[in-house]
Amino acid sequence: MTELHVFPTADALAEAAAEYMVQLAHAAVMEQGRFSVALSGGSTPRALHAHLAAEPLRSDVDWGRVHVFWGDERCVPPDHPDSNYRMARETLLDHVPIPAGQVHRMPGELPPTEAAAAYEAELRSFFGAAGEPRFDLALLGMGDDGHTASLFPGTAALAETERWVAANWVEKLNTWRLTLTVPTINQAANVVFLVAGAGKADRLREVLRGPYQPTALPSQFIRPIAGRLAWFVDMAAASGVES
């Protein structure tokens, strides 16, 4: 089931998403003693992180039970300005008491294929090698080309059905990226897209209301098998959808 939640501003979106994440964390900790979340990169999550790092939400999370992962990462060192890990560290992780061993960083500093294999091994260790990578929450953004995580239009990783993590060559960016694969994201118990800004409106309408063409619009691949999919968008991004 796909839910669309529209908020008046990007900050209202971020606040609601933060509250939603806290509720999911409470439920996961009650049920299984831990909460696993795959963070998104890009700029939209900054506001979400700020709400989580501030009171009252900061104290409302049992950070000792939280495990943080990433949905994708740039192939750069962890202190690089483009690093999704660095963004999350600066806006959230440095401000909450999460044990260092529960921050599962994608090793962007390694050669891409080696990095993807290493991260998959870390996921298999966490979720159980024979199990499935069932994140309690996968946070995603959507690019203005319809990509999500580092699953870009027309790239090889879109076709990956066995691996949990892929090294993906992105021609348009002339760079390698690390990304969870479509099957891995679709194993999540909850998937939340955060989409803000008028620049996303046309693409969001295509993704949500247009024909199913996921190779061109990879966000359309995201259909949780046994999970809940929710889109948290601001009015600017939703203008094309509501019309």
| Binding footprint of ligand 6PG on the chain (CB under 6 A) | 40-44, 71-72, 84, 141-143, 147-150
Nearer CB in complex with ligand 6PG: 28/180: 180
Bin 87: left if φ > 0, else alpha if -120 < ψ < 50, else beta.
Answer: alpha
CB of 56 to ligand 6PG, least distance (A): 25
Q: What's the CA gap between 132 and 89, in Å, rounded? A: 27
For ligand 6PG, the closer CB: 22 or 139? 139
User: Which residue number, 65 or 182, has a Cβ lying nearer to ligand 6PG?
Assistant: 182
Please identify which residue in the block is written with the tokens 């790239």. Answer: 155
Closer CB to ligand 6PG, 148 or 190, in the complex:
148
Q: Which residue, 71 or 224, is less far from ligand 6PG as judged by CB?
A: 71
**Least separation in angstroms between CB 148 and ligand 6PG:** 5
Smallest separation (angstroms) from ligand 6PG to the CB of 167? 14
State the nearest-atom distance from the C-beta of 26 to ligand 6PG, in Å: 25
> Each residue of 153-163: b (16+ CB within 10 Å) or e?
bebebbebeee
Contacts of 94 (CB under 8 A, 6+ apart): none
Q: What is the layout of strands, in order, in the sheet containing 165-170?
A: 72-74, 175-180, 165-170
Q: How far is the CB of 188 from ligand 6PG (least distance, A)?
A: 15
Which segments of the chain are extended strands (E)? 2-7, 35-39, 66-70, 72-74, 137-141, 165-170, 175-180, 190-195, 228-234
Question: Least distance (Å) from ligand 6PG to the CB of residue 97?
Answer: 26
Residue among 57 and 237 whose Cβ is closer to ligand 6PG? 237
Residue 233: strand pairing partners = 6, 195
* DSSP track, 70-94: ESEEESS-TTSTT-HHHHHHHHTGG
> What gap in Å lies between CA 138 and CA 193, rounded to an integer?
9
> What's the rounded Cα separation, in Å, for the pair 190 and 229?
6
How many Cα atoms sit within 13 Å of 146 on the Cβ side? Answer: 24
| C-beta closer to ligand 6PG: residue 49 or 147 | 147
What's the closest the beta carbon of residue 41 comes to ligand 6PG, in angstroms?
3
